Structure formats: structure tokens, C-alpha cells
Amino acid sequence: MSSLDPSKMSQGATGPAAQNASLARQSRRLYVGNIPYGINEESISDFFNATMLELNITTGTGKPVVAVQINHDKNYAFVEFKAAEEATAAMAFDGINFQNQSLKIRRPKDYQPPTGLGNEPLPIHVPGVISTNVPDSPNKIFIGGLPAYLNEEQVMELLKSFGELRAFNLVKDTATGLSKGFAFCEYVDPSVTDIACQGLNNMELGDKRLVVQRASIGAKAAAPFIGTLGSLPIPADLLPINNQDSEPTTVLQLLNMVMPEELDDEDEYQDILEDVGEECSKFGRIVELRVPKPIQGQTVPGVGKVFIQYESKEECSVALRALAGRRFADRIVIASYLSEERFQAQDY
């Protein structure tokens, strides 16, 4: 006669042991959304295995993926790895391109991180991959005041003029799929964070003025909420800041119009001067056009920017409204005013 207690056998199937086994399995699984239509389990498995092996982010020997389950109706899959560490590493593939589809990778809803640990991916970056999930961190950036006509690629194009992006998310209305006018991002190089914020904050883009600052975390989270953006509250420290260049002046400052490397060649530099001058003269009489050129071994203020001084503030305002958001050399132009005093002092 067996000495096993039937009640204990029942508890083993649904009690702590089974729950622990379920949690352990969930730590090895990832939700993968936006998969290519008609894809099969083998193709997804082969893609993850090959990519992880190529980047050497596997543990032990053998292929990291052990199972794939696809829901074709809802266009997502669950990918199970042989180790929890590999699932965590694969979180870095969020946003990776697979058969012309940008994959959305998340933890399962019932995932519970180990005690004392968060559920963020390991601090690795896959070159060329921009995650769609921007976790809270000291370097998370808030971008507000975005014109509704800008899509994800165009907003990322603006941000990438300052450096390579690790993560980006343009917040959209779930019902319409339209932009709510704000986004979050994080750069691969943390030192770019403040440079991008200073370069973009309070600049006019079309009929909007950008608000670009570090996202509210830590001490900032306690800031009073005095506004709303869509359905989300805006902390007081994320509201637009007026500065000395927020009022119309006779000087227009253009970003993302030229790249420093394009200015090295003298012939190309002269072509740029001619093209910019011809386009900007359509909006008024140009008093002075400056396109600072890099000089080897020297720090030249304003390299990568274009400055146009018009005869009147009215002409400058017309130019700003016309040029902000326009494309030049397949880049979206960012426009703002610069005070005459800073222009004369070359304080760019």
C-alpha cells in the first residue's frame, strides 16, 4: 500500500510548488507582438536563436529558444527560452526589425521579477535597434508640444540629430492611433541627454513650441501637477519655460539643416550657402547669413547650425513659420529665434 497522502498529492499540483514552477516558466517567456503575418514557429525561433548567438548573449551551450506559441488571430507569439537570463537579455530586441516588422517585446502580464530586482532588460544595446519601451531612468527624456502631423520616424529623426537612440515611444490615442503630441526617449550615450534637452527645449516647430526635458522621476515626481496633456497630468517642472529668445527677433536659428561633416569640403560648403540663401531669401531681405564651419583643432561655436538675420522681425517670423518642420537634404528642420545680442556676440 502506498504511503503517500492523497491530500498532499493534491496540494503539490496546485500549491506552492506548482506556483513556483509557473513563475519560473514565466520568467523564461516573452510576449512578442507585431509579428509578420503568416509566420510560423520555426521562423521566429530561428530568428531569435541566430540573433542571440551572433551577439553572444546566450547562457551555456545550445540554442536559447526552446518553444514558440503563436496566436495568428491577434498577431502575437510567446517565446520561451531555456534560461531566465536569456529572456531578460532578449528584452533588448524590443523594436528590432524582423521581415519588415518592428517587433514589440514585453514580459508576460503575470511575470513577477525576482525579489529585489526590477523587470528592465540588461544594460545592453543592440546596434540599430530602438526599443519601443522607455523605462524610468535618470536619462529618460520627455518631449512635449509635438505637432500632430509628425509621425514616429520624423520625431526620431529630430532626436537622432543629437545622438543614437536607445529607446523611443510616441504616445498615441488608443482609439484613433493618432499622436497625442508627446513622446519619451533615451539616448545610448547618457551624456547626450542634457545637450538634446538644451538644444530642443522651447524651440518652435510649425505652430508648436517644444517642451524637452528630463522626465519627472525621483524628487521631480513630487512636483505639483498644474496642467494636462491628453489624459495625462503634466508636472509643473515640465511646463514651457520662457527665455530671452522666446520672443520674435530679427535672427532665425535653424537646427538639423546641415551636418558638421558636410561643411568640411569647400565646394559643398559653398553649395550649402547658396542653397540656404536662395531658400531663405524668399521670406524677406537677408542682412547676414552665417553657417559656422569646423576648423581642425579649434572649437567653433554653432557648427551644425544655420543663422539668418533678416531686416525685420516680421520677415523673420514669416521665415520661421515657413521653415519649421520643412525638409532640407531629407532632414526635418527645427527653427527658433535667437536674440540679436547673442548673434552679434556669437553666443550660439
Residues 258 and 319 in one domain: yes
pLDDT tens across 49-63, in order?
A: 998 888 787 777 789
Those residues with Cβ within 8 angstroms of residue 337's Cβ, 6 or more apart along the chain or in another chain: 204, 245, 246, 247, 248, 249, 251, 252, 253, 316, 320
Residues 337 and 259 in one domain: yes
| Pairwise CA distance, residues 47 & 45, whole Å | 5
Residues 207 and 259 in one domain: no
Residues 261 and 210 in one domain: no
329, 161 in Cβ contact below 8 A? no
Asked if residue 221 belongs to a domain, the reply is no
Residues 260 and 330 in one domain: yes
Whether the pLDDT of residue 291 is over 90: the answer is: yes
Asked if residue 11 belongs to a domain, the reply is no
Q: What is the mean pLDDT of the chain?
A: 78
Residues 271 and 200 in one domain: no
| Pairwise CA distance, residues 311 & 250, whole Å | 7
Mean pLDDT for the stretch of residues 255-282: 87
Instruction: List the single range of 82-86, 99-103, 157-161, 220-224 with lowest mean pLDDT.
Output: 220-224
pLDDT tens across 296-314, in order?
A: 888 788 888 899 999 999 9
- Where b means 16+ CB within 10 Å and e means fewer, 43-72 reads ebbebbbebbeeeebbeeeebbbeebebee
Highest mean pLDDT among 93-102, 150-159, 253-262, 280-289: 280-289
Which pLDDT score, from 0 to 100, does residue 313 have? 93
Q: Which of 214, 238, 261 is the last residue of a domain?
A: 214
Which pLDDT score, from 0 to 100, does residue 81 have? 93
CA angle 161, 167, 171 (to 5 degrees): 95
Residues 255 and 204 in one domain: no
Cell numbers 502631423 correspond to 149
Instruction: List the single range of 19-23, 119-123, 169-173, 209-213 with lowest mean pLDDT.
Output: 119-123
Whether the pLDDT of residue 75 is over 80: the answer is: yes
Cell numbers 542653397 correspond to 275
Asked if residue 192 belongs to a domain, the reply is yes
**Range list of β-strands (E), 23-147:** 29-33, 65-71, 76-81, 97-98, 101-102, 104-106, 141-144
| Pairwise CA distance, residues 113 & 119, whole Å | 6
Mean pLDDT for the stretch of residues 97-111: 87
Highest mean pLDDT among 60-74, 203-217, 246-260: 60-74
Which pLDDT score, from 0 to 100, does residue 101 have? 87
Number of structural domains in the chain = 3
Residues 161 and 77 in one domain: no
| Pairwise CA distance, residues 53 & 153, whole Å | 29
Instruction: List the single range of 67-81, 105-119, 198-212, 238-252 with lowest mean pLDDT.
Output: 238-252
- 76, 90, 79, 80: which is closest to 35 by C-alpha? 76
Residues above pLDDT 70, as percent of the chain: 79
Cell numbers 537612440 correspond to 165
What type of residue is 183? Answer: A
Residues 196 and 268 in one domain: no
| Pairwise CA distance, residues 301 & 29, whole Å | 50
Those residues with Cβ within 8 angstroms of residue 23's Cβ, 6 or more apart along the chain or in another chain: 112
Read off the pLDDT band of 285 (50, 70, 90). very high
Asked if residue 239 belongs to a domain, the reply is no
Residues 267 and 209 in one domain: no
What type of residue is 280? Answer: C
Which pLDDT score, from 0 to 100, does residue 226 have? 29
Residues 186 and 258 in one domain: no
Whether the pLDDT of residue 39 is over 90: the answer is: yes
Q: Which of 169, 187, 214 is the last residue of a domain?
A: 214
| Pairwise CA distance, residues 148 & 179, whole Å | 6
Q: Which of 106, 121, 152 is the last residue of a domain?
A: 106
Q: What is the CATH number of the domain that holds 165?
A: 3.30.70.330
Asked if residue 262 belongs to a domain, the reply is yes
Categorise residue 296: left if φ over 0, alpha if ψ from -120 to 50, beta otherwise: beta
Mean pLDDT for the stretch of residues 235-253: 55
Query: Could you list the residue range(s) of the whole structural domain that residue 262 is in?
Result: 251-345
Asked if residue 238 belongs to a domain, the reply is no
Which pLDDT score, from 0 to 100, does residue 216 have? 58
Whether the pLDDT of residue 122 is over 60: the answer is: no
Sheet with 179-187, side-by-side order of all strands: 165-172, 179-187, 141-144, 211-214
Asked if residue 123 belongs to a domain, the reply is no
Residues 154 and 92 in one domain: no
Asked if residue 5 belongs to a domain, the reply is no
The pairing of beta strand 306-310 with beta strand 286-290: antiparallel
